Structure 1
Amino acid sequence: MRRMLMLFALGLLGGCTNAPVQVGWLAQGGCGQPTAEQELALNLAKDMAADGRAHAALAHLQALPSSLPEVRLRQARIYRSLGRNEAAPLYRSLLGTCLAAEGHHGLGQLAAADGNQREALEQLREALRLSPTDAKVRNDLGLVLLREGRLDDARFEFLTALELDQDSALPAQNLLSLLFYQEQYQQAADLVSRLRLPADLVRQAEERARDMKRQGLTAPLAARQPREDAPLLAQVHKAEPDTGGEVGR
């Protein structure tokens, strides 16, 4: 009986190898692997963007084949940081590839910046479906939900993002702003103590909470231009290391 079960299981496995049905990223279009030289150029462009040399980074990316989805993703992020219209078609070109989640994420960020909340929610939810452990997507979705007045849902996303990426200040800052806005000061104090949040971040969260009360939830949470890989709206003054080039942002 054991032998028959083993043969049956092997038969199932063999059948799966020939099956046309695929799941997850395998069902999406493939991403060609860059050569060692191309990878070096991608890293150079990444470093330039992180140093604030967005135009130089874009020039280096334009020298690489646009057939590589990774190149298009880097270009889209830089164009978005510069407020250029070229970002949207580049993000759309990623849909159906192994970077589809990043494409939907970028389109959601653009829609939110344009005030199109419905489109932003749709795109960010699709990005979340494709990449549920992406803390940046969770953070940005939380911001859009916050602007919709859905405070409990926003808090859930900020908490999830914080637990997924405990090294990122963004979800902590956004969650803290929400707690101050809701006047839940004891929970805010507990969060500051537990995460040992720096004083400047706490001050920024307090200022944002005051702005939200004065101007409404739709008030922008930050005024400065986003970096290449920056999440949607909230950023701390001290930029985080650039992780935008990693597949699975």
Structure 2
Amino acid sequence: MKAVIAACALLMLGGCATGGQGNSPWAGLTGSSCAKLSSDQELSMNLADDMAKEGKLHASLANLQGLPERYAQVQLRKARIYRQLGRSEAEPLYKGLLGTCLAAEGEHGLGQLAAGRGDNALATTHLERAARMAPTDEKIRNDLGVVYLNQLRLDEARFEFLTSLELKQGDSLAALNLVTLLIYQDQWSQAAELASRAELTPAQVGDAQARAQALKTQAKTASNQVAAIK
């Protein structure tokens, strides 16, 4: 069941270790790593961004590998691609961003990795740090809401999803997550109204229902275990 919950949660993360830099090979980064790239380097990075948006992750990574690794902007993009590819290189790259101008993004990435492993407690630690550093980043707020929802911290999850929605009007991911929460609470009319307003597809609403049901099963199992202990 935990594996199912983690898999469902990954689908609802925008964009989900240890908190310190530890012995990471990237731990020596300083603020200078956030220096401005040259125009040619910016062009290569923009090309890599476009390829990533098109789903061409390997091609995007190939373009990034031609850029100096000392730049935090480059390391962040590499980390995101490695995370999406399920590669272990993502974690040390995210850790290497801690203490730089992109520390919030580093904490965010570590939180996403922890959530993907089903470690919601660790994910919460990283994402709460990220939210304190970048309180207006709607992706961070959404992902923090997801890990709160995974822990059935419903009021906190609702707050984060609403914050994400208000920060970026029309954010379908945050809307989908809030619909999931509303269905979990059997608030069907509110869920239907939000789904319509956010123009969610029937398939998306179906995913929200499946996720809500998985959470209910999780909650029931936990309740039964507590009863058995007593």
Please say whether Structure 1 and Structure 2 have the same fold, judged by a TM-score greater than 0.5: yes
Query: Which residue pairs with 2:31 in the alignment?
Result: 29
The answer (yes or no) to whether the contact 2:139–2:164 under 8 Å persists in 1 is yes
> Does 2:106 align with 1:103?
yes
- Give 3-state SS (helix, strand or coil) of 2:55's partner: coil
Point out the structure with the larger helix share: 2
Larger radius of gyration: 1
Q: Deviations over 1:121-175 (max 9, x none)?
A: 1110110000000111011111111111111111111111111111321000000
Q: Distance in 1 between matches of 2:206 and 2:118?
A: 27
- Give 2:31's aligned amino acid: G
Which residue is equivalent to 2:173?
170
The answer as to whether partners of 1:73 and 1:91 remain within 8 angstroms in 2 is: yes
Structure 2 unaligned regions, length at least 5: 1-29, 222-230
Aligned to 1:42: 45
| Matched residue type, 1:195 | A
Question: Given the alignment of the two structures, is residue 212 of structure 1 paired with residue 215 of structure 2, yes or no?
Answer: yes
Relative distance call for 1:117 and 1:196 in structure 2 (3 A) is closer
| Structure 2 residue 79 is the aligned partner of structure 1 residue 76 | yes
Q: Which deviates further from its counterpart, 111-120 or 74-83?
A: 111-120
Q: State the shift of 1:216 in Å.
A: 5.0
Question: SS at the partner of 2:36?
Answer: coil
* Larger CA deviation: 176-185 vs 189-198: 189-198
Which residue of structure 2 aligns with residue 64 of structure 1? 67
Structure 1 residue runs of 4 or more that deviate by more than 6 Å after TM superposition? none
Distance (whole Å) between structure 2 residues aligned to residue 38 and residue 75 of structure 1: 15
Asked if the contact 1:120–1:144 (Cα under 8 Å) also holds between the matched residues in 2, the reply is yes
In the alignment, the residues of structure 1 paired with residue 130 and residue 220 of structure 2 have an alpha-carbon distance, to the nearest angstrom, of 24
Paired letter, 1:81: Q
Calculate the TM-score normalised by the size of structure 1. 0.72
Change in CA separation of 1:122 and 1:74 when aligned onto 2, cut-off 3 Å? same
In 2, the alpha carbon distance for the partners of 1:36 and 1:179 equals 47
Q: Aligned residue pairs: how many?
A: 191
Separation in 2 of the partners of 1:154 and 1:165? 17
Residues 176, 195 of structure 2: 8 Å contact kept: no
How much has 1:199 moved relative to structure 2? Answer: 3.5
Answer whether contact 1:148 1:217 (CA < 8 A) is retained: no
Pair 1:187 & 2:208 matched? no
Q: SS state of the match for residue 31, structure 2? A: coil
Identify if the C-alpha distance between structure 1 residues 152 and 29 changes in structure 2 by more than 3 Å, giving closer, same or farther: same
- CA 1:117–1:198 in structure 2 vs 1: closer, same or farther (change >3 Å)? closer
Normalised to the residue count of structure 2, the TM-score between the two structures is 0.77
Partner letter of residue 122 of structure 1?
T
| Alignment of 1:136 onto 2:139 | yes
Which residue of the partner structure matches residue 199 of structure 1? Answer: 202
Letter in 2 for 1:150: R
* 2:15 match: none
Q: Percent of counterpart pairs with the same letter?
A: 56
Contact 2:45 2:74 in 1 (8 A): yes
Q: Which of 115, 120, 123 in structure 1 is aligned with 2:123?
A: 120
**Secondary structure class of the residue paired with 1:59:** helix
Whole-angstrom distance in 1 between the partners of 2:197 and 2:118: 35
- Mapped partners of 1:214, 1:64: distance in 2: 47
